[in-house]
């Protein structure tokens, strides 16, 4: 069955499947802020990412070995590549940029341009071209993201390469998403591929963290709460739903859901940390929702 046929089947026989997956993806993708907020006060970003990926991989390991097809060496190599791109370079690149004092609002805005990069790449690589309606929806969604992020945008004192690092990290994840859709890895279950990617990421993050000091985790309540959130929601939910969706739907449609992560993140911050919500944020969220709807419908 071709990718187009798979997408068509998913759309026609499961009308509620995409709304459900999109909702879970938005919740999982935006929830990373919560875990980082709790845990980053207790540990460096690299140490935090090391324990996040290590725990995620170790929890998945027995299920990956016992449930699903036998994992071949070639499959391990393929997933290791995705782990380097979608876990280490993507998460690590943005984390390093923040440590270099690139303003968080600017980092978030660049990260949320990911769907646009994926849409551009999906046409020449996958042959999944966007219609005029979808390009208009993409433009509207980006406008909404700009409105939501406007108050937090600023240019800090970070070096120029740190800003380039954020763009590069976003593009790396876009390439990884398109390659994941293109490569014939359908026989490997999502939990198996995610396990390999997380363990590969943990090795690389561990090397980086070891250069900064000890790999021992802080034995504090905030770090534990943040780590539980990062592993269960921001990793298991977000990545599993994302890769599952890529197997069922066009990559540009899946990535369009990420446009709603900024307003949802701000709602998380309002509920948990009492950060203010403005009229502009609600207006931007509404505009983004319209753009996402147009892009998803195609």
pLDDT in tens, 258-281: 777 777 777 777 777 676 777 777
Q: What pLDDT is recorded for position 128?
A: 65
pLDDT in tens, 86-134: 889 988 888 787 777 776 666 766 777 777 777 777 766 666 666 777 7
**Whether residue 10 has pLDDT greater than 50:** no
Q: How many domains does the chain have?
A: 1
Residue 129 lies in a domain: yes
Residue 249 lies in a domain: yes
In order of 112, 151, 185, 262, the CA distances from 200 in angstroms are: 25, 37, 18, 28
Tell me how far apart the alpha carbons of residues 258 and 170 are, in angstroms, rounded to a whole number.
12
Residue 269 lies in a domain: yes
DSSP state of 84: I
**Whether residue 228 has pLDDT greater than 70:** yes
Residue 19 lies in a domain: no
Percentage of residues of the chain with pLDDT beyond 70: 80
Tell me how far apart the alpha carbons of residues 83 and 179 are, in angstroms, rounded to a whole number.
12
Q: What pLDDT is recorded for position 170?
A: 85
pLDDT band for 4, please (50, 70, 90 cuts).
very low
DSSP state of 213: S
pLDDT band for 245, please (50, 70, 90 cuts).
confident
Residue 18 lies in a domain: no
Residue 28 lies in a domain: no
Tell me how far apart the alpha carbons of residues 261 and 269 are, in angstroms, rounded to a whole number.
12
Residue 114 lies in a domain: yes
Q: How large is the angle between the packed helices 190-210 and 45-66, nearest 10 degrees? A: 150
Beta-strand runs (E) in the chain? none
Q: Is the dihedral of CA 24, 220, 84, 138 positive or negative?
A: positive
Q: What pLDDT is recorded for position 144?
A: 77
DSSP state of 187: T
- Do you know the residue count of the chain? 298
Percentage of residues of the chain with pLDDT beyond 90: 15
pLDDT band for 148, please (50, 70, 90 cuts).
low
Q: Taking all residues of the chain, what is their mean pLDDT, rounded to a whole number?
A: 79
Tokens of 200: 């590969």
- The CA radius of gyration of the chain, in Å to the nearest whole number, is 19
Of residues 89, 109, 238, the one with CA closest to residue 173: 89
Q: What pLDDT is recorded for position 221?
A: 85
Specify whether the CB–CB gap between 102 and 156 falls below 8 A: yes
pLDDT in tens, 28-79: 888 876 777 667 777 888 899 999 999 999 999 999 999 988 888 888 888 8
Residue 293 lies in a domain: yes
Q: What is the pTM of this model?
A: 0.77
Segments forming the whole domain that contains residue 231: 3-7+36-297
């Amino acid at each position: 069955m071709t990718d187009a046929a798979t997408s068509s089947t998913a759309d026609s026989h499961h009308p509620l499947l995409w709304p459900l997956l999109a909702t879970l993806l938005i919740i999982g993708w935006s929830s990373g802020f919560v875990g980082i907020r709790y845990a980053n006060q207790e540990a460096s970003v690299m140490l935090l990412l090391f324990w996040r990926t290590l725990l995620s991989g170790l929890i998945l390991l027995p299920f990956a070995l016992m449930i699903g097809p036998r994992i071949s060496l070639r499959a391990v190599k393929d997933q290791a590549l995705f782990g380097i791109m979608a876990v280490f370079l993507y998460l690590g690149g943005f984390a390093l940029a923040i440590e270099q004092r690139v303003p968080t609002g600017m980092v978030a805005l660049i990260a949320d341009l990911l769907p646009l990069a994926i849409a551009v790449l999906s046409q020449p690589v996958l042959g999944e071209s966007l219609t005029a309606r979808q390009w208009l929806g993409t433009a509207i969604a980006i406008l909404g993201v700009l409105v939501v992020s406007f108050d937090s945008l600023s240019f800090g004192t970070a070096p120029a390469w740190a800003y380039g690092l954020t763009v590069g990290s976003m593009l790396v994840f876009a390439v990884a998403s398109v390659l994941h859709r293109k490569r014939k890895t359908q026989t490997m279950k999502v939990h198996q591929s995610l396990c390999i990617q997380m363990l590969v990421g943990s090795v690389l993050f561990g090397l980086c963290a070891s250069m900064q000091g000890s790999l021992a985790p802080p034995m504090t309540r905030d770090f534990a709460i943040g780590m539980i959130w990062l592993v269960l929601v921001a990793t298991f939910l977000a990545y599993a739903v994302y890769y599952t969706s890529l197997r069922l739907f066009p990559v540009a449609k899946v990535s369009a859901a990420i446009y709603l992560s900024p307003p949802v993140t701000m709602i998380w911050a309002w509920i948990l940390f009492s950060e203010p919500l403005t009229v502009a944020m609600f207006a931007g969220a509404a505009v983004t929702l319209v753009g996402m709807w147009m892009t998803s419908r195609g």
